[in-house]
Structure 1
Amino acid sequence: MNDVLKPELIWIEGRCYRVNDVMTNVSAFQEQDLYETELPYGINEDENDEDDNKIEIKKVDDNRYCTSFHVSKHYLGSIIGKKGATVSRIGRDTKTDIKIPRHGENKDISIYGSNESSIKAAKRRINIIVMSSRMKQTATHFISIPMNLPNIMKQFENFKASVLRECSGVGLEESLFIRAEKLHLTVGVLCLMDNEERLTASKLLTEARDKYITQLLQNYQPLKIRLKGLSYMNDDPKEIDVLYGRVEEVNAPAGLLQQVVDAIVTHFYKAGFMDKEYGRDNVKMHVTLLNSKYRGRVKGVDEDTNVKKNKKRETFDGSQILSKFSDYDFGTIELNDIHLSQRNSMGPDGYYQSTCVISCNKQ
């Protein structure tokens, strides 16, 4: 249950909204008037207005304006509501006429109104519904930094062999280890339901590079990252679900990589395409090494597609691993690319299939 004194906040197109009660209908979303000091990462009202101005609104005639935009068909039912109640309420509240594509039609949503502000208000309401629905879907993609260079993979295989040879513990077995070709640092996960959304996400990743990443890394290119040390997700080292490697900068100030990944997630978050994990402002940077969800994985079958649904995860005892290999050094890589990766997929090199790849180095 949400704390009524600290309601959940979400960002849509640069504007902040609060959710009064997740059990109520969409009309419970209200625009949150925040002072500049309350807005994360220095976002202010001028920037909010700038985001609003990105909406393309055309004048139809002397008394009507119109805008059209893509929404995946998977979300249309939520926008329409039971017997059309939700879309009718939005139209009534904003004094607009909203046209929703019929089943089977490959068309955009269109909003007509007597002025631009009412059209913008209706679009924001629809965006809120889409974001709320999106966050309930299973992730289809994730933003990743590949860590599968030959030197890292070799050290990982050595680590794996040593663990299996020297460590024993309840639930510890070979199938828990990620495949070396898929080693990566996870930045954030998201759900993309069609090609249009994949194109939008690719554009967002490119924007994040141009607006934030290039500036942050300008004096430290190529940024070198060391994969060294172990940690785990659970509270008890004898009952671990995920054991991961930690990362650190080699030729740059500590915390620089954290700023990079936080900037990416915030950019996607404000565009309504990504949620913040457990409400954290900072990404928990991790390179998964062992994961209990891989247990029993069949060799030659992708770990993501081989997970049995509704099966309770069985933790493993990683206390000996942490004791013997706590400072294990897997090696160093250069941060050259950041990927928008597809889950449940495999590219020709054994890594996840990429929807978009951006370069982090100066062109």
Structure 2
Amino acid sequence: MDVLRPPTVWVAGRCYRVLNPQTATTTTNYAEADAYGFEDSVYQDEVDCTNETDFTVEETGSGRFQTSFPVANPYIPYLIGSKGSTKSRIEKETYTNLKFPGKGQNGNVVVTGKDVRTVRQARLKLEMLVEQARKKQPSTHFLSLPVNTPNIQEKFLEFKKEVLEKCGDSRGVEESIFQEAAKLHLTLCVLVLADDRERQQAVDTLKQCPETVLKKQLGGEKLRLEMKGVEIMNDDPGEVHVLYGRVNALSWSHSIQAIADSVVGEFVKGGLVTRQQERVKAACHSNEH
């Protein structure tokens, strides 16, 4: 392991160092269906919890320590495991007690222990499992910026007409593969929002972006964009499923890349998006088949 560049994991917008890559990359799979009817709970080992966290651990009246946090109900089975195996394992390794909402009920997961460090460690392990569970779910929403001004729509329709006239006899090239001109957009990220709480959190995060992102990046000025050129999603032009337009800012002082990265960063901080790469791929989706 390179001590200067140790392996890391992102959980709820925070980056943690993995202490032991040999054990950290080993997962325990529980193929047997648990009480919730789910399979394949995944457990991640040995993560450094010595760094300061941004959640609160409170001392209870009995001298023990406790933290609680909301978890969407579909993810609870991943935290319990087959016949409670994951729950028991975390409790034994961290000397804590875990309490979960009942089946089909909304509520907080509560972690109780004898000291702050073990409570933090147990919570982080649970949050990592939620991240793993989120990755298994199909996307429910996506975050985008509309790129559908009248002049762009007009140019897009001209492009569509030209393609159909010149390539209409080619494999798969027909009108239905084109996106509606009014729906042209710049995709920033996709999300898995599992319950009303997460959906409301996403709405609140988006409403804060004009203040946290746009005001800082634009300073009240408008961002002028240009969509010019077409790119493909894969490396084989003969097997293309998605074409997208290249989008560039027409101002030296503002960067669409910085704005896109910052907006997605706000959702990463809130734990609604798992950071997959350092930068957002700025592309205007135009047609798909």
Q: Same fold (TM over 0.5)?
A: yes
CA distance in 2, matches of 1:130, 1:8: 19
Match of 2:283? 286
* Pairing 1:6-45 to 2, within 5 Å after superposition: 9-13=8-12, 14-18=14-18, 20-21=24-25, 23-24=27-28, 26-31=42-47
Aligned pair in 2 of structure 1 residues 267, 116: CA closer, same or farther (>3 Å)? Answer: same
- The answer as to 2:273 corresponding to 1:265 is no
Match of 2:181? 180
5+ long unaligned stretches in structure 1 = 1-5, 34-44, 293-363
Aligned pair in 2 of structure 1 residues 128, 210: CA closer, same or farther (>3 Å)? Answer: farther
Whether the 8 Å contact between 1:131 and 1:273 is mirrored in structure 2 is: no
5+ long unaligned stretches in structure 2 = 30-41
Aligned pair in 2 of structure 1 residues 145, 27: CA closer, same or farther (>3 Å)? Answer: same
* Pairing 1:293-332 to 2, within 5 Å after superposition: none
Deviation of 1:32 (Å): 5.3
Match of 1:37? none
Residue type of the partner of 1:287?
A: C
CA distance in 2, matches of 1:32, 1:117: 11
Deviation of 1:203 (Å): 3.7
* Pairing 1:144-293 to 2, within 5 Å after superposition: 144-168=144-168, 169-206=170-207, 210-218=211-219, 221-253=221-253, 256-269=255-268, 271-276=270-275, 279-292=276-289
Residue type of the partner of 1:286?
A: A
Whether the 8 Å contact between 2:230 and 2:246 is mirrored in structure 1 is: yes
1:232-258 Cα offsets, whole Å, 9 max, x none, are 11213233111111111112347x111
CA distance in 2, matches of 1:125, 1:173: 50
Whether the 8 Å contact between 2:244 and 2:287 is mirrored in structure 1 is: yes
Match of 1:83? 83
CA distance in 2, matches of 1:95, 1:23: 21
Deviation of 1:23 (Å): 4.5
Taking structure 1 as the reference length, the TM-score comes to: 0.66
Whether the 8 Å contact between 1:12 and 1:271 is mirrored in structure 2 is: no
CA distance in 1, matches of 2:88, 2:228: 56
Aligned pair in 2 of structure 1 residues 133, 66: CA closer, same or farther (>3 Å)? Answer: same
Identify the range of structure 1 (74-83 vs 260-269) with the bigger mean alpha-carbon deviation: 260-269
CA distance in 1, matches of 2:124, 2:208: 21
CA distance in 2, matches of 1:7, 1:160: 49
CA distance in 2, matches of 1:228, 1:29: 47
Whether the 8 Å contact between 1:65 and 1:116 is mirrored in structure 2 is: yes
Aligned pair in 2 of structure 1 residues 135, 8: CA closer, same or farther (>3 Å)? Answer: farther
Aligned pair in 2 of structure 1 residues 189, 22: CA closer, same or farther (>3 Å)? Answer: farther
Residue type of the partner of 1:31?
A: V
Residue type of the partner of 1:229?
A: G
Aligned pair in 2 of structure 1 residues 185, 22: CA closer, same or farther (>3 Å)? Answer: farther
Whether the 8 Å contact between 2:44 and 2:125 is mirrored in structure 1 is: no
Aligned pair in 2 of structure 1 residues 231, 222: CA closer, same or farther (>3 Å)? Answer: same
Identify the range of structure 1 (15-24 vs 170-179) with the bigger mean alpha-carbon deviation: 15-24
1:219-240 Cα offsets, whole Å, 9 max, x none, are x721111112111112132331
Residue type of the partner of 2:9?
A: I
Whether the 8 Å contact between 1:187 and 1:265 is mirrored in structure 2 is: yes
Partner SS state of residue 109, structure 1: strand
Taking structure 2 as the reference length, the TM-score comes to: 0.81
Deviation of 1:150 (Å): 2.5
CA distance in 2, matches of 1:84, 1:106: 19
Whether the 8 Å contact between 1:226 and 1:249 is mirrored in structure 2 is: yes
Match of 1:312? none
Whether the 8 Å contact between 2:230 and 2:245 is mirrored in structure 1 is: yes
Match of 2:129? 129
> Alignment length, in residue pairs?
267
Aligned pair in 2 of structure 1 residues 150, 8: CA closer, same or farther (>3 Å)? Answer: farther
Deviation of 1:30 (Å): 3.0
Aligned pair in 2 of structure 1 residues 223, 29: CA closer, same or farther (>3 Å)? Answer: farther
Root-mean-square deviation (Å):
2.6
